[in-house]
Structure 1
């Protein structure tokens, strides 16, 4: 009565051995040279990292060491102009996750959809709809110019309240537009531009390269810490973020996974004098608030639907291998069945932590520290 089984004693040893290690997620950040957004992402990936997302940014205590505006891993959705998402860290291309266009991290006026303005040179240019400009209304079968400055949406509302709409430019009326101002052309997403009221016009007169500019990439302002939308072809330094995680696609039990990670470390000396030196590995602990979301993105290529992490129920409670405080009790049972006392991280977007039979065989994540 009251004694521990051989299995429990071995687990106590496994967990105790981890207390001197740092099995948690660590971000490694570095800045690139000045380059376009797509080039910056390729540069980060060539260094086994990627453009920094909110996970790494939230781990920064201060942006003070960053002296310039920088590219980050934030992009406009190609289907919906008003939607912004973080890049997909699992696949290495595209975006994923929820729309972050309503995040409080954006500076005032951002993020903005894209709308067309007629410039002083009488060409059209793509500009952020949130900027105030003069505008043209079509009402009573006439084009009316208003020098007062409003955002595109405000101008559109004004025209509608006065029984009209933002004006459409066609070949037969183009000569009537003589001053800079908003017109009724806006971007729905990607390369699709539409006129208000579903008016049809085949006439185009884009300036510059003959194509509308796309403010589709996100940058971080180092002084304010706010996000901006900018043209992806602008040359900036970029913040790359790597990590100390290693996905192992070998199917092992939880205890085998722990031992596998630790055996990856370098041992110096022989026999009784042998000791760990250099890089040390362990089954990862994910106690930080943003760690689980980041790790979920990194296990997209796992060959099992769930992966083992360093989470274990022992002696009446859930423990991380690095002894960090466990804040997952709200989703994990306070007294799980005796055969389901090891924790996994799920690839399912609707789930995060799950408890499983420790003898099941799954892929797993190791973390390392030098």
Structure 2
């Protein structure tokens, strides 16, 4: 895991960068967590995250164990919040479901998903839910999720990444050219290649604001094989047709269909998703 850190003014935005690589494999998606000491209500904190980053952090972006690790490594940051070492709570992107009397937690990012069914949440992480309408916080001392009144003012945790959702309708090749226009001497950009299967569901959540049901990815059928636009082959060729129809040679992801890749006519116009990263 790669960590880096920076500070901004008195409110101290701590930036913790980590890659979702397995062992030392190259990863396309890099997520960044921002811990703010500024105290806001849950709604104000979420607005701040959406205006300056992507959104509030949720446990599908940073799993409980990693969030724990990041905060523990920032012990000096925690001391700044409370010299008396009181409990330090941070808003995260979960709130109680007002439709249920026992208030199961749902994601503030997409409005779906209960922690009761989340494989990332062990029993020790789950808060006791007794009323509806509360908002989720993470207690850095007892390392548990807790429910607070949403009007309380707490520090909070946002996240960002290196993906760009482009909500313009373009053909696959025009989308590719759009992404690659951002290439410079120190960075590269391309249509997104999802080479790590664990990133698939993150990306489907990430495209939920697209105005088209499906978005173009870097997947393309060439020379009898499926390739990513950055030159990597698709690991599981059997998941896509070995002889696609004449025009359905380009791959999309759907916001709602949980099947993996969908093949479409490359001349259709859709939104698309790029990624960018620094190069040596």
The answer to whether TM tops 0.5 is: yes
Instruction: Give the greater-gyration-radius structure (CA).
Output: 1
Q: CA deviation at 1:367?
A: 1.6
User: Contact 1:26–1:244 (CA<8 Å) still a contact in 2?
Assistant: yes
1 CA distance for matches of 2:64 and 2:172? 29
In the alignment of these two chains, the number of paired residues is 235
Question: Which of these residues, 97, 107, 117, is aligned with residue 102 of structure 1?
Answer: 117
| Cα offsets for 1:318-343 (capped at 9, x unmatched) | 33334567456564334433422211
* Aligned positions of 1:85-234 closer than 5 A: 85-88=106-109, 95-103=110-118, 105-108=121-124, 110-114=126-130, 187=131, 189-190=132-133, 216-222=134-140, 226-234=144-152
User: Contact 2:172–2:250 (CA<8 Å) still a contact in 1?
Assistant: yes
User: Structure 1's 84 and 62: CA in aligned 2 closer, same or farther, altered over 3 A?
Assistant: closer
Residue in 1 aligned with 2:34?
30
Moved more, 289-298 or 48-57: 289-298
| Cα offsets for 1:172-229 (capped at 9, x unmatched) | xxxxxxxxxxxxxxx5x45xxxxxxxxxxxxxxxxxxxxxxxxx22223446754333
Moved more, 281-290 or 54-63: 54-63
TM-score (norm 2): 0.70
- Larger RCO (CA under 8 A, 6+ residues apart): 1
User: Structure 1's 250 and 58: CA in aligned 2 closer, same or farther, altered over 3 A?
Assistant: same
User: Structure 1's 26 and 55: CA in aligned 2 closer, same or farther, altered over 3 A?
Assistant: farther
User: Contact 2:137–2:148 (CA<8 Å) still a contact in 1?
Assistant: yes
Question: Which of these residues, 194, 212, 217, is aligned with residue 286 of structure 1?
Answer: 194
Residue in 2 aligned with 1:73?
93
2 CA distance for matches of 1:29 and 1:325? 30
| Cα offsets for 1:287-339 (capped at 9, x unmatched) | 33443333333333323221111112334433333456745656433443342
Q: CA deviation at 1:369?
A: 2.0
1 CA distance for matches of 2:135 and 2:232? 36
User: Contact 1:35–1:234 (CA<8 Å) still a contact in 2?
Assistant: yes
Question: Which of these residues, 210, 215, 227, is aligned with residue 307 of structure 1?
Answer: 215
Runs of 5+ consecutive residues of structure 2 not aligned to the other structure = 1-25, 73-87
1 CA distance for matches of 2:235 and 2:155? 37
| Cα offsets for 1:108-144 (capped at 9, x unmatched) | 4833331xxxxxxxxxxxxxxxxxxxxxxxxxxxxxx
Residue in 2 aligned with 1:205?
none
Q: CA RMSD in A?
A: 3.1
Query: 3-state SS of the aligned residue for 2:99?
Result: coil
Residue in 2 aligned with 1:341?
249
1 CA distance for matches of 2:64 and 2:261? 22
User: Structure 1's 113 and 62: CA in aligned 2 closer, same or farther, altered over 3 A?
Assistant: closer
Query: 3-state SS of the aligned residue for 1:237?
Result: strand
User: Contact 1:44–1:50 (CA<8 Å) still a contact in 2?
Assistant: yes
Matched, 1:83 2:83: no
Runs of 5+ consecutive residues of structure 1 not aligned to the other structure = 1-21, 89-94, 115-186, 191-215, 266-275
TM-score (norm 1): 0.55
| Cα offsets for 1:219-250 (capped at 9, x unmatched) | 23446754333333444322210122222233
Query: 3-state SS of the aligned residue for 1:24?
Result: coil
User: Structure 1's 224 and 252: CA in aligned 2 closer, same or farther, altered over 3 A?
Assistant: same
Residue in 2 aligned with 1:254?
172
User: Contact 1:70–1:237 (CA<8 Å) still a contact in 2?
Assistant: yes
User: Structure 1's 338 and 222: CA in aligned 2 closer, same or farther, altered over 3 A?
Assistant: farther
